[in-house]
Amino acid sequence: MKTFFEGKNINVKLLLILLPVLLLMLNSCIGLSLDIKINRDGSGTLTFEYRVSRSLESLGSLDGNASKLAIPVGREDWEKTIQRINGASIASFSAKQSGQDTAYTIKINFDNPQTLRAIIDPSGEKTQIAVNNNSGKLKLILLDKAASAEYDRNLLDLARVLFKDYNFSISFSAHGNSTLSFTNGQGREIARPENAPAVQSGRQVSMSIGTMDLIELPDGLGVEFNW
């Protein structure tokens, strides 16, 4: 069994591989929110908000290594990463300390759906997107399978207490009406998880789930947006 704080590092690139990586990091003390807006011409904005416990900065030394956790601390960090992606640019960036957390908000412009995919899933393995005139589909695998299976149960119980206020949420809007449906980690359609409140039809659709609840879903979770 892996221990709760077994060494893992977070860097800007991993933070951009938003969904499949961050949600596997039980030691990340993180809350994550993602808002996607797609215009009629396929361009749009991606607003990425994440909340990190300031205690995270000390975790890198717990495994006895000299390595430090590298998280983005300024607009320049994000610009260096985003400038490598054709058709993407940063519209705004902010960082604010609140209690024991630092909250980051980054708004990114993208020129087309392919650029959006390159931002949220550089590997191209967890995301499918297709746009045809006034309609389209965006499919994201958030988690392949339960990330909790390889962690000690007592430590997971502790994590549930420590991270009870951390959530993952995602929202989506395009021109006209949109719909949201759920899949498991293999992409097969399922009913909405009981602990994931959602708006599944309307001008803006959305879902939210506790980070620990997501990590412990036995068959993983995906979302599909249609418009």
**Euclidean distance between CA atoms 147 and 165, whole angstroms:** 19
Residue scoring higher pLDDT (212 or 46): 46
Residues in the chain, how many?
227
Give the pLDDT band of residue 113 (cuts 50, 70, 90): very high
Residue scoring higher pLDDT (6 or 81): 81
**Euclidean distance between CA atoms 156 and 183, whole angstroms:** 24
Mean pLDDT of 123-135: 88
Tokens, residue 21: 């990586």
**Residues 13-72: tens digit of each pLDDT:** 333 333 333 333 433 446 789 999 999 999 999 998 887 766 554 444 344 443 444 445
CA–CA distances in Å: residue 176 to residues 48, 117, 192 = 23, 21, 23
CB atoms within 10 A of CB 214: 24
State residue 14's pLDDT score.
32
